[in-house]
Structure 1
Amino acid sequence: MLENLGNRFQSIFKKVRGQSKLTESNIKEALKEVKMSLLEADVNYKVVKDFINKIQEKAIGTEVLIGVNPGQQFIKIVNDELVELLGGTNSRLTKGVKNPTVIMLAGLQGAGKTTFAAKLANKLKKDGERPYLVAADVYRPAAMKQLEVLANQIKVPAYIDETNRDAVDICRRAWANAKTQDYTYMIIDTAGRLHVDEALMDELADIKKTVRPQEILLVVDAMIGQDAVNLAKNFNDKLSIDGVILTKFDGDTRGGAALSIKSVVGKPIKFVGVGEKIEDLELFHPERLASRILGMGDVVSLVEKAQESINADDMKSLEEKIKTQKFDLEDFLKQLQAIKRMGPLGSILKMIPGMGDIGDLAPAEKEMKKVEAIIQSMTKLERKKPEILKAERKLRIAKGSGTDVSDVNKLLKQFEQMKGMMKIFSSGKMPNFGAGFPKMPMGRNGKRFF
């Protein structure tokens, strides 16, 4: 996400770090490049102009702090302004005084409203809430069926009435039912159109008047760039929305919508969709995103992802196995699968400070899949006692995993090296990082991955 913009910012900062002091001349040169980067990222022109003016005003008028590199101070100013541009702080959902809290989703057809409705319900359920999905799209073929399938998948109740063609009446009936059942949240999946029209807005306005939602969230495809900002402005003028959801944010390499919406529309981005899985939904944190864009990582999000993906009991068991030298290939497979659940390797590594420019990760991703296939082709006994793996067993495993015997041998060798490292660390002795230390996969630019 926002990859192109991030790479440009890091290139600009390399030049700024090389300056012995900040002057009006070199600041203007850096800001010129920042301006071009933002415009190329499809950020609104007025937003870019205001952003640059604020940075210039602060950078030129600020004395360099003692002990702080001038380049670092410039980066801090850019970071602070970028956080402010993105919304300042995370904006969470409003909860009503009485149940249910009604959340109404709006947006054009194809933006991902139905999928987002299920993702949000899933998240609320994990947070201990009792969500209730309402299918109020009476126009798109199979829209109700899609929501019903997703609701069954996440085991959340849904109001589905395919015989009723009146969206307002559906919402009224669902609202009465939600109050009776004491659901804490009611999420309404409304209809969309290919473009904003009077009929669409009238229906949404009638639903709003009938169920009085605490939140009206506009669901927008992040890939449409500046059009997302214009769309948000139109919906806000007609409905007075409370926030914006950016779907397909993982595919938005430019980032113009995320960087423009709050400033132009005055409404916060509340969530971003970062993948196709039902769990791929993140709260929008301006400070974390700014940190990622500027190549400073996002350790907080990394820890949160790890906590969601790695079971605490499994972690405790793993620590004990490492201490007692009982770590085997079955445990190794569990760790690989936990890393996969956290998301693409590139996304994870970019959350680590200093790992912004990590090059091509495709070979590392491919290697991880190969290792997983090899271990899965082993029997449970072979995973626990790899020393029993002789030529015949290795040949069977290689055939079963679609690899060569040399790949199996390589994995076993690396696993033994890793166990050796674990033995050293668990004993409290410092390892000798010289000859014989196992080499980990590298990126195109020569950086180690793990």
Structure 2
Amino acid sequence: MVLGELGGSIARALQQMSNATVIDEKVLNECLNEISRALLKSDVQFKMVRDMQLNIKKIVNFDDLAAGHNKRRIIQQAIFNELCNMMDPGKTSYTPKKGKPNVIMFVGLQGSGKTTTCTKYAYHYQKKGWKPALVCADTFRAGAFDQLKQNATKAKIPFYGSYTESDPVKIGQEGVDRFKEENCDLIIVDTSGRHKQEAALFEEMRQVSEATKPDLVIFVMDSSIGQAAFDQAQAFKQSVSVGAVIITKMDGHAKGGGALSAVAATKSPVIFIGTGEHMDEFEVFDVKPFVSRLLGMGDWSGFMNKIHEVMPTEQQPELLQKLSEGTFTLRIMYEQFQNILQMGPLNQVFSMIPGFSAELMPKGQEKESQTRIKKFMTMMDSMTNDELDSTNPKLMTESRIVRVARGAGRAVKEVKEMLEEYKRLGKVWSKMKGLKIPKKGDMSALSRNMNAQNMSKVLPPNMLKQIGGVGGLQNLMKQMGSKDLAGMLGGNK
């Protein structure tokens, strides 16, 4: 069961509970049993699932709930919080500091994607202005140095390793010393993959750690490992001081729950997740937005931040002004399609948008959807400026549609399909009319300043109804603090 399927199962259980005429203990138990089955099927450790059930039942005590309490909302909030607690050890990991050499050591099982993850981690920081370097202290696996060398060269990141030296401790120490002299501020040490039965390799790992004195040890966990995750993660934690976890292959058809058990075993936070093979398919992990996306609630802040990354700063105030006016043109749709294509794999981007049309992004058809967006853009390339900038859908007459189809080399029905998508997105956009624009006029400020009224416009109607409408949102904000609520609904940390 992939995490998307897990989220779907949990979301369905919550929906069935919400549809019940009367919310009582029987309905709660049915909902929790359905969620528990989904978690166990996804290889989450039995003890974690049992503890989650008990904690929710303690919170949702029907005898103690006074009349007038919104039982649906209390149950949903309790489930959300418990899922967050399962993935959150309650502490943060070491954060690299600029101006000094930060040594980061990667450890993990054979085949977990550790070497690729080292490069992704380096590339992530390189884009933010850091000077990373890679050290291959893996002398056990044939081809390890070649793989790291190839990855590093492609990402234009300096690297160190040896074809002749067999002592990983010596390579690790020499590499770290060299890159410290070269004033690299992020020195990443890749080590041999191993499993908990290999005592000699664990001893080697300890020696590399002693020689390189890492500021942070990152445990790389393949999301497909299943029930073995807890024991394996615990074995690493007992050998070296694991301070953070990165979960890989979150895009595949593997079960993801086992990897979540690694958080409990290492008592260390997940800091990144690998979502594909490409260098940029690597996301910062934040518990509340992740659970929001898991439950199909979206991650509005993550989406806004991605747009913030790819959109030129000078364009942001103009776009936000149009957003507040409810103005949506074909040109705006074209520009946003351009931004979306720069933001990474489409299934991840669209999962961040609450209530986004599944038709534009059918599961397992990411390439087809990307092709469809590009096809739409090609059609818009054949339009006049007046057509692109008009807010009147009736402007596109039959003769204009035929002309656009001919110019783009597409069928008339395809142009009409594109115009239908424009109308649909226009309806969503119009709901944002009256949005309060931050003084700075930038996307990141907007995502930070989402209030109950703004959030109510973004959330799908069925979700808003479950929460209790705008009034329910406001009450939750008072109870939890707006910052926490924003996180719960996909906002910033």
* TM-score in terms of structure 1 length: 0.78
**Aligned runs of 1:50-449 on 2, under 5 Å?**
50-60=51-61, 63-64=64-65, 69-87=70-88, 91-95=92-96, 99-193=100-194, 196-251=197-252, 254-313=255-314, 315=316, 335-354=336-355, 360-361=362-363, 366=368, 368-370=370-372, 372-373=374-375, 397-398=408-409, 404-406=410-412, 409-410=415-416
- Match of 1:249, SS state, is coil
Q: Are the equivalent residues in 1 in contact too, given 2:247–2:274 (CA < 8 A)?
A: yes
- How far is 1:119 from its partner? 0.8
Q: Are the equivalent residues in 1 in contact too, given 2:330–2:422 (CA < 8 A)?
A: no
Identity %: 28
- How far is 1:95 from its partner? 3.5
- How far is 1:174 from its partner? 1.3
- How far is 1:121 from its partner? 0.7
Q: Are the equivalent residues in 2 in contact too, given 1:89–1:285 (CA < 8 A)?
A: no
CA RMSD of aligned residues (A): 4.0
Name the aligned partner's letter for residue 371 of structure 2.
K
- How far is 1:406 from its partner? 3.2
- Match of 1:60, SS state, is coil
- How far is 1:414 from its partner? 6.3
How far apart are the structure 1 equivalents of 2:350 and 2:341?
A: 12
- Match of 1:250, SS state, is coil
- Match of 2:134, SS state, is strand
Q: Deviations over 1:162-204 (max 9, x none)?
A: 3322211111111211221222111011122477412211211
Q: Are the equivalent residues in 2 in contact too, given 1:168–1:210 (CA < 8 A)?
A: yes
Alignment-derived partner of residue 437 in structure 1: none
Q: Deviations over 1:24-72 (max 9, x none)?
A: 3332232222222221121111111111111111111684478653111
Q: Alpha carbons of 1:129 and 1:143: their partners in 2 closer, same or farther (altered >3 Å)?
A: same
How far apart are the structure 1 equivalents of 2:86 and 2:321?
A: 46
How far apart are the structure 2 equivalents of 1:297 and 1:14?
A: 16
* TM-score in terms of structure 2 length: 0.72
Unaligned 5+ runs, structure 2: 389-398, 435-493
How far apart are the structure 2 equivalents of 1:44 and 1:195?
A: 18
Q: Are the equivalent residues in 2 in contact too, given 1:3–1:254 (CA < 8 A)?
A: no
Which segment is superposed worse, 14-23 or 278-287? 14-23
Q: Are the equivalent residues in 1 in contact too, given 2:105–2:218 (CA < 8 A)?
A: yes
Q: Are the equivalent residues in 1 in contact too, given 2:405–2:412 (CA < 8 A)?
A: no
How far apart are the structure 2 equivalents of 1:348 and 1:237?
A: 37
Alignment-derived partner of residue 3 in structure 1: 4
Number of aligned residue pairs: 420
Name the aligned partner's letter for residue 154 of structure 2.
Q
- How far is 1:149 from its partner? 2.4
- How far is 1:377 from its partner? 9.4
How far apart are the structure 2 equivalents of 1:31 and 1:419?
A: 36
- How far is 1:413 from its partner? 6.0
Q: Alpha carbons of 1:92 and 1:250: their partners in 2 closer, same or farther (altered >3 Å)?
A: farther
Q: Are the equivalent residues in 2 in contact too, given 1:137–1:191 (CA < 8 A)?
A: yes
How far apart are the structure 2 equivalents of 1:216 and 1:412?
A: 49
**Aligned runs of 1:30-69 on 2, under 5 Å?**
30-60=31-61, 63-64=64-65, 69=70
- How far is 1:107 from its partner? 1.4
Q: Are the equivalent residues in 1 in contact too, given 2:382–2:404 (CA < 8 A)?
A: no
How far apart are the structure 1 equivalents of 2:365 and 2:180?
A: 53
